[in-house]
Each structure stands twice: as C-alpha cells, then as structure tokens.
Amino acid sequence: MKKRGSALIVVIIIMTVTFLLAAFMVDTSIKSNRVASDTSDKTRAYYSAETGIYDFINYVNDDIENNIKNNKLDISSGNSITNNYNKAGLYNDNMEVYKAGLMHNISMPQDSDYIKTYTFDVYSKGNYGSETCTIISNVSIIYTDNKYTSYTINSRQVED
C-alpha cells in the first residue's frame, strides 16, 4: 500500500516540476517575442522618419525648381508634409507614417550667384505601432547655373 501511494506522490511532483518548467519557458518566449516586436517597431519608426527627411528634401527641391528664376520660395518656416506627399514610399511599400517639417526659413543665396546653396533644418517624426522616432537634419541643396546639382545632409540627430 505504501509503495502505491509513494509512486503517486513522485508522479505528482514530477508533473508539477514539468508544468512549472513549461510555464517558465512559455513566459520567456512571450517576453522575448515582445522585445523583438518592440525592436522591430522602433526600427520601422526610424525608417519612417528617415523617409520623411528624404521626401521633404524632394518637396523643397521641387519648390526651388519652380521658383529659382524669381529667387523666392513658397515654403517657409512651419511648413510640414505628411506621407500624403509620398508617392510610393522610400522602399516602394507606402507604409511609412511620418510628419516632416521645416524648422526655420531656408537660407537664400544671392540671385547673382553661379552656385546657389539653399540650407535648411528639417525635422521628421516617424511612427510605427506604439514606437516613435524623431530625426532632425541640416540639409544643403546645391544648384549650379540654376540647375540642380546635389544635396548634402550636413548633420543628423536622432531622438527616441
């Protein structure tokens, strides 16, 4: 009689230990999945903000091309765009969610300059899931003989 009872107790102890071990593994797996998901969302928010920077550079460049003859721009401090301006997304997935804006007025070159450099500060806030990322960049767009030459991102600051 005592052997049957002790075997039952041993089986119950082994089942309890196995259950606790399985519960610990499931909990660890769920936490690991959550951390991986947060990291993925942060990365996507960063790339959304980066897309906003590049789209805003294109937006400013379009305005410069349209107004270079009269040396006056339609864009001023406080102008902003959302991904509505985005034609297909930086990675052609049209999934970016951002708001990009001009922080200060664009520094204007002299009308008589052969090489014209337009410099401005732009911010972009990207969102994905519950994560956000803000990028602040100083950008220069260069025109030579009233034709687009290049752009340069002079500095970049990333904030979570």
pLDDT tens digits, one per residue of 5-51: 788 888 899 999 999 999 999 999 988 888 777 888 899 899 989 98
What's the domain count of the chain? 1
The model's pLDDT over 143-160, given as tens digits with 9 standing for 90+, comes to 998 899 999 999 999 987
pLDDT for the residue 96: 59
CA distance linking residue 36 with residue 31, whole number of Å: 9
CB proximity list for 114: less than 8 A, separation 6 or greater: 144, 145
9 or 135, which is more confident = 135
- Going by pLDDT thresholds of 50, 70 and 90, the confidence category of residue 4 is low
Q: In what order do the strands lie in the sheet containing 147-159?
A: 80-82, 98-102, 115-128, 131-144, 147-159
> What residue numbers bound the domain in which 25 lies?
2-159
pLDDT of 93 > 80? The answer is no
pLDDT of 87 > 70? The answer is no
Neighbours of 147 (CB within 10 A): 9
Q: Which long-range contacts (CB under 8 A, 24 or more apart) does 5-14 make?
A: none
- Going by pLDDT thresholds of 50, 70 and 90, the confidence category of residue 130 is confident
